[in-house]
Chains A and B, each alone.
Chain A
Amino acid sequence: MAGAVNLLVQSHPINSALSLIAVMASLAAEYLLLGAEFVAAVQVIVYAGAIMVLFVITIMLLNAGKEERSKGSRVATLLGIPGVLIGGVLVAWTLLHRSNMQATVPIGALKGDPRDIARLLFRDFLLPFEVTSVLILIAIMGAVVLASRPQAVARGPRKDGG
């Protein structure tokens, strides 16, 4: 599964959105293997559903064609890519050599059924939950304001904020 995900990610045309959907789906399968059923369902619904539909609609709306190859900034090329590679190699080396390989995760170890998660979410994490609801409300309103036509914005905001 790691190879498949990696291969899908490495091919980067403009239809990388589709490969990203495939990555999301395989990650959902991974969550199912780990026993986190609720997270897998939310992954499919939110990521592979909502967010990727947003991406695909935006690509279609903006008529995004082939991406032209252009020289990036020198700093990104000279410092960024070796830095990323060194970081990735360091992380891999640390994980593979320093961590004890006996720390295994059994398949389906965690009973992530929705009842327990809901109990945790609405009792222990109630305040963050409400804060995220406010955040997503603000995000929706900001998206509507940003994506609306400029003359509609220039007409002035309405008195009722909604």
Chain B
Amino acid sequence: MVPLSYYLLLSGILFVCGVLGFLIKRNIITIFMSIELMLNGVNLSFVAFAAHWHALSGQVFVFFVMVVAAAEAAVGLAIIIAVYRTRETLNVDQVNLLKL
């Protein structure tokens, strides 16, 4: 019997790590991995709540989140490849064409 709050705490830790990585890292691939980490944290809380309330629909939502994450990873990595072709860099500080 594991308390529900432990799962939620782990999920929150994962999410905060994702946000921190998103803010700190300057490599665009690592930023993408931070986004995946945030999605994983949310998934964990979904499954924990599904187990807590004995509702299977939480797991179905996890499935949908995974599908969206897969689509997002495919498109995002394609965008990264396109950016690297045009800018020859992976550093987000040097992709500043839209900056004033």
**What's the minimum C-beta distance from A127 to chain B, rounded to whole angstroms?**
12
Report whether B54 and A104 are in contact in the complex, using a CB–CB cutoff of 8 Å.
no
Report whether B74 and A55 are in contact in the complex, using a CB–CB cutoff of 8 Å.
no
- Chain A residues positioned under 8 Å from B80 (CB to CB): 58, 62
Report whether A58 and B81 are in contact in the complex, using a CB–CB cutoff of 8 Å.
yes
Report whether A42 and B63 are in contact in the complex, using a CB–CB cutoff of 8 Å.
yes
Q: Which interface class (under 10, 10 to 19, 20 to 34, 35 or more) fits B? A: 35 or more
The majority secondary structure among interface residues of chain B is: helix
CA distance A109 to B23 in the complex (A): 37
- Chain A residues positioned under 8 Å from B59 (CB to CB): 36, 38-39, 110, 112, 117
The answer to whether the Cβ of A154 comes within 8 Å of any Cβ in the partner chain is: no
Minimal Cβ-Cβ distance residue in A for B8? A95
Contact with B along A45-71 (1 / 0, CB 8 A): 011001100110011011010011110
Q: Which residues of B contact A (CB under 8 A)?
A: 1-10, 12-14, 16-17, 19-21, 23-27, 29-30, 32-33, 36-37, 40, 43-44, 47-48, 50-52, 54, 56-57, 59-60, 62-64, 66-75, 77-82, 84-85, 90-91, 93
26 CB contacts below 8 A, A to B, read: A1-B10, A2-B6, A9-B14, A17-B29, A30-B44, A36-B59, A42-B66, A46-B70, A54-B77, A55-B32, A62-B84, A67-B25, A68-B26, A70-B26, A76-B23, A81-B23, A81-B24, A88-B12, A88-B13, A103-B52, A107-B1, A125-B57, A132-B64, A135-B67, A139-B75, A140-B74
